[in-house]
Amino acid sequence: MFSFKLKENGTNAKTEIVAGITTFLTMVYIVVINPAILHDAGVPFNAVFMATIIATVIGTLWMALCANYPIAIAPGMGLNAYFAYSVVGSHGNISYTTAFSAVFVAGIIFIILSLTPFRKKLIEAIPENLKHGITAGIGLFIAFVGLKQTGIIIGDKENLVKLGDLHNPLTILALIGLAITLILMARKINGALFIGMLVTGIIAVITGRLKFENGFVARPSLPHFMIENPFSAFGDVIQHSLYAVVFSFLLVTIFDTTGTMVGVAEQAGLMKGKTLPRARQALLSDSIATTIGAIFGTSPTSAFIESTSGVAAGGRTGLTTLIVAVLFIVSSFFSPLVSVVSGLSAITAPALIIVGSLMIGSVAHIKWNEFDEAFPAFLIILSMPLTSSIATGIALGFISYPLLKVVRGKWRDVHALVYIFAVLFILQLGFVPH
Mean pLDDT in residue range 276-286:
90
pLDDT at 172 over 70: yes
pLDDT on residue 124: 81
Confidence of residue 1 (pLDDT cuts 50, 70, 90): very low
Query: How confident is the model over 17-36, as pLDDT tens digits?
Result: 999 999 999 999 999 999 99
pLDDT band at 59 (very low <50, low <70, confident <90, very high): very high
Percent of the chain with pLDDT over 90: 70
Model pLDDT, residue 91: 64
Residues 357-382: tens digit of each pLDDT: 998 998 999 999 999 999 999 999 99
What is the average pLDDT score of the chain?
Answer: 91
Say whether pLDDT at 126 is over 90. Answer: no
Answer yes or no: is pLDDT of 385 > 50: yes
pTM to 2 decimals?
0.89
User: Vertex 91, ends 245 and 89: CA angle to 5°?
Assistant: 85
Average of per-residue pLDDT across 106-124: 88
